[in-house]
Amino acid sequence: MIKSQIMNHRNLDEMIAFYNDVFGDVEVLYSRYIKDHENDQFRHVRILDHEFYLMRGPHHPDKVPAIFYMVVFPESRRHELEQLHVKLRDGGRDLSHVEDMKFSDDLYLLQDKYGTLWRFWAAEYFEAPGILPSLVMHDDMVGKIGEMKTYYENIFDDVEFGEISYLDNGLIDHVSVRILNYELQVCETSEKDLFSLTAVSLLVLDCETQEEIDRYHNGLVSQAYSSGWLKDKMGIVWIVDWVGMHNLLKNANPKQAKAMFAAIDNAGPICIEDVKKAYEDNAE
């Protein structure tokens, strides 16, 4: 139900080509391009068995905790991870100075040229390469892991927080959080004003019913944007989405697509009936 999404104002196909060169095998599962609707360019891709939604758009919420992606490799294949690290940092931003977020001098946090944040880890117990979505709590979010746990337990039926490990300075080194079977690794950093966000990484809640949409939107919302976007009280950005809209868009003509997006262009929860009516009323 929950997916990773990266929003960027850059060309998505160029972005995919870059990641394909870095990781070696990026699978495009679905691609959508709406004529005359520049900011609805959408790709559903798989990288190292982790699925991402990539979306082109100008919307950049003000200040959010940074969601990044941990690339993990077996220790026996560390040299491959180091080579991947070199490729991924080409044209990007070196964040090697962030001491409490690196495992070694040659595998450090970086922001690639598309604005996406990456961290790297090699360990013997990883059986195969993979990607772990992660959240770094910084600035005024440090020390709020207990509040986060209570908050999400009151919204979602299926939430599990693992055992917390700490750094010598008392900050969280790692805790695994599972929400509706979506695994999210959480850590903390003492670095201030760490991230200039040229890309927004967020979580997508794909809902099937109006009841689900209303429940999650109203439970999570601290600040509402349009089209199902919101920021929760922990600062994480979500899209509470209706999965049926994706199915309709696959067959929609440009007039239908434009009307459907107009139907959700407000700060409230997505209304399924409004979307269906926009689709039906604009059939050719």
Report pLDDT digits (tens) over 114-141.
888 899 999 999 999 999 999 888 878 8
Q: What is the pLDDT of residue 257?
A: 86
Q: Is the domain of 158 the same as that of 181?
A: yes
The CA distances from residue 3 to 235, 238, 257, in Å, are 17, 10, 23
Q: Read off the pLDDT of each residue in 37-63 and give the average, rounded to a whole number.
A: 76
The answer to whether position 155 is within a domain reads yes
The answer to whether position 124 is within a domain reads yes
The answer to whether position 25 is within a domain reads yes
Q: Is the domain of 81 the same as that of 161?
A: yes
Q: What is the pLDDT of residue 37?
A: 55
Q: What is the pLDDT of residue 27?
A: 96
pTM equals: 0.88
The answer to whether position 34 is within a domain reads yes
Q: Is the domain of 107 the same as that of 164?
A: yes
Q: Is the domain of 106 the same as that of 163?
A: yes
Q: Read off the pLDDT of each residue in 15-19 and give the average, rounded to a whole number.
A: 95
Q: Can you give the CATH number for the domain in which 115 is found?
A: 3.10.180
Q: Is the domain of 178 the same as that of 71?
A: yes
Q: Is the domain of 161 the same as that of 239?
A: no
The answer to whether position 198 is within a domain reads no
Domain boundary among 188, 216, 236: 188
Q: What is the pLDDT of residue 91?
A: 94
Please name the residue that has the structure tokens 């009151």.
154
User: CA-CA distance, 35 to 101, in Å (whole number)?
Assistant: 42
User: CA-CA distance, 54 to 42, in Å (whole number)?
Assistant: 6
Q: Is the domain of 184 the same as that of 73?
A: yes
The answer to whether position 197 is within a domain reads no
Domain boundary among 162, 188, 214: 188
CB 185 within 8 A of CB 70: yes
Q: Can you give the CATH number for the domain in which 259 is found?
A: 3.10.180.10
Domain boundary among 132, 156, 188: 188
Q: Is the domain of 140 the same as that of 180?
A: yes
Q: Read off the pLDDT of each residue in 186-199 and give the average, rounded to a whole number.
A: 73
Q: Is the domain of 157 the same as that of 89?
A: yes
> In this model, does residue 234 exceed pLDDT 90?
no
| 64 — pLDDT class (breaks 50, 70, 90) | low
Indicate the helix (H) or strand (E) that contains 243: helix 243-251
Q: Is the domain of 11 the same as that of 78?
A: no
Task: Please count the structural domains in the chain.
Answer: 2
Q: Is the domain of 214 the same as that of 183?
A: no
Q: Are strands 130-137 and 117-123 parallel, antiparallel or unpaired?
A: unpaired
Q: What is the pLDDT of residue 275?
A: 96
Share the mean pLDDT of the chain.
Answer: 88
CB 94 within 8 A of CB 110: yes
Q: Is the domain of 135 the same as that of 244?
A: no
The answer to whether position 194 is within a domain reads no
User: CA-CA distance, 16 to 130, in Å (whole number)?
Assistant: 17
User: Comparing C-alpha atoms, which of 49, 134, 121 is closest to residue 85?
Assistant: 121
Q: Read off the pLDDT of each residue in 164-187 and give the average, rounded to a whole number.
A: 93
> In this model, does residue 192 exceed pLDDT 80?
no
Expressed as residue numbers, the domain containing 30 is: 2-62+204-281
Highest mean pLDDT (candidates 159-168, 196-205, 233-242): 159-168
Q: What is the pLDDT of residue 46?
A: 95
| 45 — pLDDT class (breaks 50, 70, 90) | very high
User: CA-CA distance, 45 to 47, in Å (whole number)?
Assistant: 7
Please name the residue that has the structure tokens 């490799």.
73
The answer to whether position 242 is within a domain reads yes
In this structure, the dihedral spanned by the alpha carbons of residues 243, 244, 247 and 248, taken in order and rounded to 10 degrees, is -140
